[in-house]
Amino acid sequence: MMQILQVTDTHLYGSAGGRLRGVETDSSLQATLDEAFARVQNYQAVLVTGDLVQDDKAGYLRFRSFFGGLKKPVLCIPGNHDEPEVMRKELNCEPFRICGAHAIGGWNFVMLDSYDPGHVGGRLVKNELARLDAALSESPLHAMVCLHHHPIAMGSRWLDGVGLADTESFWKIIEAHSHVRAVVWGHVHQAFDGTRGNVRLFATPSTGAQFLPKSDRYAVDSRPPAYRSFELHADGRIDSSVHWVESAQLRQTAS
Ligand SMILES: [Fe+2]
């Protein structure tokens, strides 16, 4: 069994005090990581599924200061608030891996780039779909596929307008590879745990403010920051939980 951490939508700014939807993204990430590393000590990798920064290139330096000292790979993909080229440049050092496919502990993590310039929603361009297909063809390992944008409807009208475009092409590839065990995303700032056929589906709340699930219009939820842990078994089974960081909520309402 191998443990993996997922944190997502950190939305960092270049300075520590930056706030998004009332939450100081820097201190809520700190509180989230403190709790995550205290609870899960034997993790083999950290997944960061997009929106590392909030439209602020200087946020990558802060991101590096949070994650740069980790001794395990930090697998990152861009979200709509990222700048992929700057992200690649600023995180072109250990322990970061940007996109790609990575074999870790008997599992293959396929990290997709769904960034679509000028759009809040996402798209997997032809080359990225081909890369997904190739990565799954080349490795027989249990696969976890990660992307920023949701590839299924979340039952929330405004969010479903800014999900992944052309989900059919994506699912056609996933369906062609029976060793895909899970598809994991960020972007929706809420917890979701479902299935599609034999594939587990996971969305993970932000390390900052959350969105209200099932809301037709944009609405912020009052739930605290969160992260997700995965236990990935050698036979392909997955146990996973979302951990809400209540201590961060206290800080949030106190400020
Ligand atoms: Fe996003």
Output the pTM of the full model. Answer: 0.96
- Rounded distance from Cα 111 to ligand 1 centre (Å): 15
Q: For 27-54, what is each residue's pLDDT tens digit?
A: 999 999 999 999 999 999 999 999 999 9
- Rounded distance from Cα 140 to ligand 1 centre (Å): 31
Collect all residues with Cβ–Cβ distance below 8 Å to 139 and sequence separation of at least 6: 101, 103, 108
Containing 30, the helix (H) or strand (E) segment is helix 25-39
Q: Quick one: average pLDDT of 97-120?
A: 98
pLDDT for the residue 47: 98
- Rounded distance from Cα 162 to ligand 1 centre (Å): 9
Confidence of residue 255 (pLDDT cuts 50, 70, 90): very low
Q: For 159-194, what is each residue's pLDDT tens digit?
A: 999 999 999 999 999 999 999 999 999 999 999 999
- Rounded distance from Cα 171 to ligand 1 centre (Å): 20
- Rounded distance from Cα 116 to ligand 1 centre (Å): 11
Nearest to 54 by CA among 31, 25, 96: 25
- Rounded distance from Cα 185 to ligand 1 centre (Å): 10
pLDDT for the residue 253: 54
- Rounded distance from Cα 51 to ligand 1 centre (Å): 5
Q: For 48-93, what is each residue's pLDDT tens digit?
A: 999 999 999 999 999 999 999 999 999 999 999 999 999 999 999 9
- Rounded distance from Cα 78 to ligand 1 centre (Å): 9
- Rounded distance from Cα 205 to ligand 1 centre (Å): 11
Collect all residues with Cβ–Cβ distance below 8 Å to 28 and sequence separation of at least 6: 207, 208, 225, 245, 248, 251, 252
